[in-house]
A = this chain, B = another copy of it.
Amino acid sequence: MAGNIFGELFRVTTFGESHGEALGCVIDGCPAGLEISAADIEKELARRRPGGVYGSRDEKDTPEILSGVFEGKTLGSPIAIVVRNTNQNSGDYGELKDIYRPGHADFTWDAKFGFRDWRGGGRSSGRETLCRVAAGAIAKKFLALSGITVRAWVSSIAGLQQPSPGEDDFDFDEIERNPLRVPSKNGAARAMAKIEELRAEGDSAGGIVTCLATGVPAGLGEPVFDKLDARLAAAALSIGACKGIEFGAGFAAAGLKGSENNSAENSGGGILGGISSGQDIFFRAAFKPTPSIGKPQKALDREGKTREITIKGRHDVCIVPRAVPVVEAMSALVLADFLLLSRSNRI
């Protein structure tokens, strides 16, 4: 793992700026013989697109597979996927050229590289995540061969907690039916009202994504540094707005007694000592509200002066529902990598 490359054996390299020519990824290390089509990828990309409720740029992302697939199956050689940018409005960003938007990476990227693509966040735009979703679509197909599935949903949005699995109002099938990807019809209605309120205010909301992996065999994860939870944490925290993660009982476990935590049902979230236990794996990832809001804000410019700005362009009130397929994709990439690595556990 380094920079824009993710994974040891199932390795993904991504590229592309928000308003450049194209974004894409190269998957190196996917075993040969896996059935893959552009439709598999397009289906997942569509889940990442903004729906009517979001308000941001709506772009149909059409993936093209450039290599690595022959007669419908992976060759074992690198799979390159490219998605052209077609709907850029760079003009919206012209006046932000010399200003560092609050809460964005504008300043830090400039501090690092001395130079940046100021159009829509450039490489630090959320648009970058489409490459993860494309690669994740392939990882999911690989995992499916072993009966592993990865699903995520919005378990809290704009401060409104949604029901948990096992609770009355929780319904898995509801998740993909509502644009907020919450697992409850009632919860969706309440949250949508709140989102509309924030939109009217020109404000934004954050939320929490819960991710669940089922069918993971016991024995995945590497000792010490490369624990399964360590890698999943890196995977989640590598997503733009993610600010925290917890596995199983998580932060609440810190306040329990050992006897309580030991006897709780799957308090480890399916991972013990960094290795999967064969139980369901689950974690919660916290996403901050998107920093692009319609209200006027104070911002620093390149000369260090404070200026008042109002960010134009199209922005989501809440990006958390769109983070759901990204969290799934990153988790699938981690699991695919460990599934391959586990082939070397024993002589």
Contacts and interface: CB of A to CB of B under 8 A. Distances in A.
A319 to B, nearest CB: 10
A346 interface: yes
A78 interface: yes
Interface stretch (A18-26, A43-51, A169-177): A18-26
B32 A67 contact: no
Given A77-B4, A251-B244, A108 B347 contact: no
Contacts of A258: 103, 203-206, 289-293
Given A218-B108, A233-B245, A5 B14 contact: no
Contact of A238 (B107, B225, B250, B297): B225
B73 A23 contact: no
Interface in A248-281: 248-251, 253-263, 267-269, 271-278
B31 A26 contact: no
Nearest to A341: B9
Interface residues of A, number: 144
A322 interface: no
Contacts of A23: 66-67
A244 B208 CA distance: 14
B345 A343 contact: no
A243 B254 CA distance: 8
18 contacts: A13-B26, A21-B67, A22-B80, A23-B66, A24-B80, A31-B345, A33-B114, A76-B115, A77-B223, A107-B277, A123-B224, A159-B255, A203-B259, A230-B233, A243-B249, A253-B288, A259-B293, A263-B297
Given A24-B66, A245-B246, 6 more contacts: A4-B77, A23-B67, A32-B346, A77-B117, A205-B258, A227-B238
